Amino acid sequence: MLIETARLRKEYGELVAVQDLDLSVTEGEVFGFLGPNGAGKTTTVKMLLGLVKPSGGLASVLGRPPGTPEAMRRIGFLPEHFRFPPWLTARDFLDMHARLYGMTAEARRERIPALLDRVGLGGRGRSKLGEYSKGMQQRVGLAQALLNRPALVFLDEPTSGLDPVGRYEVREIIRELRGEGVTVFLNSHYLSEVEVTCDRVAIVKGGRLMRVGTLAELTQGANEVEIEARGLDGETLAGLARWGEVTADAETPVGTRKVTLQMTGDDALPQIAAYVVGRGAQLYALTPQRPSLEELFMRVMAEERA
């Protein structure tokens, strides 16, 4: 495991920011870490980076305690709130960080232009950071996080301030990193982007881990199936109750009938299709639908408020 925690905890006086967090992140995966403001996401990342000392529990990053030089030299980090020296050019800024990593002059000459091109700033390397827009600063921050060819990258809101093209480009960079075997630990409020980018997702609230798994695992047991057929009579609809509850029923402009069946799991889809056809109905479509990540997220938040 590249990241592993056991009952990781952080207290600030009477406030418990992170409560007994158990996490494991494997090599080469994109791991989404989600939660509302105040959920403990930033505190967790700071503990994993060795910037904040835990109140209890254990953590391992790249097989070593957080914050050790051996681990940190293989980690890249883009914080959500950054302040870059406005008087430096992008090249000078990256060169300064590359020197801190101990990169040779030859390595810097090769790596910095390549990274600027990769994040879409190939023509602006000699511009001062004070002249950069928020989106451009986000891009140069991402370049800084990749300078040392990290094995593990922490990205905190990496698409903040970017337009749709910029967000797409960052998603492509994250996919490229995964293809290179780099592990990405991603904090983002753009749930739709997390949905199409991450291999696994953890949802936290109030410092506690509420859900963790792949999207398929997290939405399992909360499936809806849309059935479109001609000849669905009341008796047939009543018979569908053996697999779940019909939550919607409407006629379509072409004369078919659409019903939505709330059910657990999708193993019964062949039996449902056979039943509908066996009842003499003409089946046009049988479409399983899982909730989006946003719907799942809001459902978890609502459950905890109840």
Domains in the chain, start-ordered, CATH in brackets?
3-216 (3.40.50.300), 223-289 (3.30.70.240)
Contacts of 262 (CB under 8 A, 6+ apart): 223, 224, 244, 245, 246, 247
- Of these ranges, 92-101, 166-175, 222-231, the one predicted with the greatest mean pLDDT is 92-101
pLDDT-based confidence at 306, cuts 50/70/90?
very low
156 close to 42: Cβ distance less than 8 angstroms: yes
Phi (first) and psi of residue 231, to 5 degrees: 95, 20
Claim: this prediction has a pTM higher than 0.85: no
Query: How many Cβ atoms from other residues are within 10 Å of residue 189's Cβ?
Result: 14
φ/ψ region of 271 (left if φ > 0, alpha if ψ in -120 to 50, else beta) reads alpha
Bridge-based pairing state of the strands 245-251 and 223-230: unpaired
Mean residue pLDDT of the chain comes to: 90
Q: Given the structure tokens 């590359």, which residue do they identify?
A: 98
Euclidean distance between CA atoms 220 and 290, whole angstroms: 8
Euclidean distance between CA atoms 8 and 21, whole angstroms: 5
pLDDT computed for residue 64 by the predictor: 95
Mean pLDDT of 232-251: 90
The tally of CA atoms less than 13 A away on the side-chain side of residue 147 is 27
Euclidean distance between CA atoms 222 and 247, whole angstroms: 13
pLDDT in tens, 125-139: 999 999 998 889 989
Euclidean distance between CA atoms 207 and 17, whole angstroms: 5
pLDDT in tens, 94-116: 999 999 999 999 999 999 999 99
CA 151 to chain centre: 18
pLDDT-based confidence at 222, cuts 50/70/90?
low
Phi (first) and psi of residue 96, to 5 degrees: -60, -45
